[in-house]
Amino acid sequence: MNGFQKLAHTLSGMDQKQGQNGAKPPQKDIRIELATVIKPQPDLKILIDGMAEPIGKEFLTIAEHLARHKRIVIITHQEKAERDLGDMKKEDYLDTDDLAAPYTSFKHNYLEQQFEDVLKKDDKILVLSVGSAYYIMDRVVSP
């Protein structure tokens, strides 16, 4: 069972133990849906594709990476190090005036970094719905 299957299994209630009378609680309906942000935080509202009414913040839970949050990071730089960006490769330059030796390098440990890129109006999102609860998993884009 992969990670998503485990999450779906847990959220559906399928792993819950039998009650006193031997019956398991009813399974919850789980769906993965696309939606659009109608109103950003703090009064977040989304509209799931195909639905007429928006869903308000009282029913929503957001993945941390989509909200303003802080992380502790290590930053390293090595002049001329090649970085694979997936669709291209770029060299790491800091001393860009001559691109000649001596090359610079540094490392900063345990810096606090705050991520500011939160959900915005009209963002397309991936939503996991479980009963009347909605979990915003990620932002999605068309290639």
For residue 90, tell me if it sits in a domain. Answer: yes
pLDDT, tens digit, 9 for 90 and up, residues 12-32: 665 656 556 666 666 678 899
Say what the pLDDT of residue 78 is: 84
Say what the pLDDT of residue 128 is: 95
Q: For each of the chain's 143 residues, which pLDDT tens digit applies?
A: 655 556 666 666 656 565 566 666 666 788 999 999 999 999 999 999 999 999 999 999 999 999 999 999 999 988 888 889 899 998 877 665 666 667 778 899 999 999 999 999 999 999 999 988 999 999 999 98
For residue 84, tell me if it sits in a domain. Answer: yes
**Are both 108 and 44 inside the same structural domain?**
no
**Are both 126 and 136 inside the same structural domain?**
yes
For residue 2, tell me if it sits in a domain. Answer: no
Task: Go through 62-86 and write b for each residue having 16 or more CB atoms within 10 A of its CB, e for each that does not.
Answer: beeebeeeeeeeeeeeebeeeeeee
How many domains, in total, are found in the chain?
2
Q: Give the residue numbers spanning the domain of 51.
A: 27-68+116-143
> Which residue type occupies 100?
A
Say what the pLDDT of residue 132 is: 87
Say what the pLDDT of residue 55 is: 96
Say what the pLDDT of residue 7 is: 64
**Are both 75 and 109 inside the same structural domain?**
yes
Q: Quick one: DSSP state of residue 4?
A: H
- State the Cα–Cα distance between residues 117 and 129, nearest whole angstrom: 24
- The alpha helices in the chain, defined as continuous H runs, are 3-12
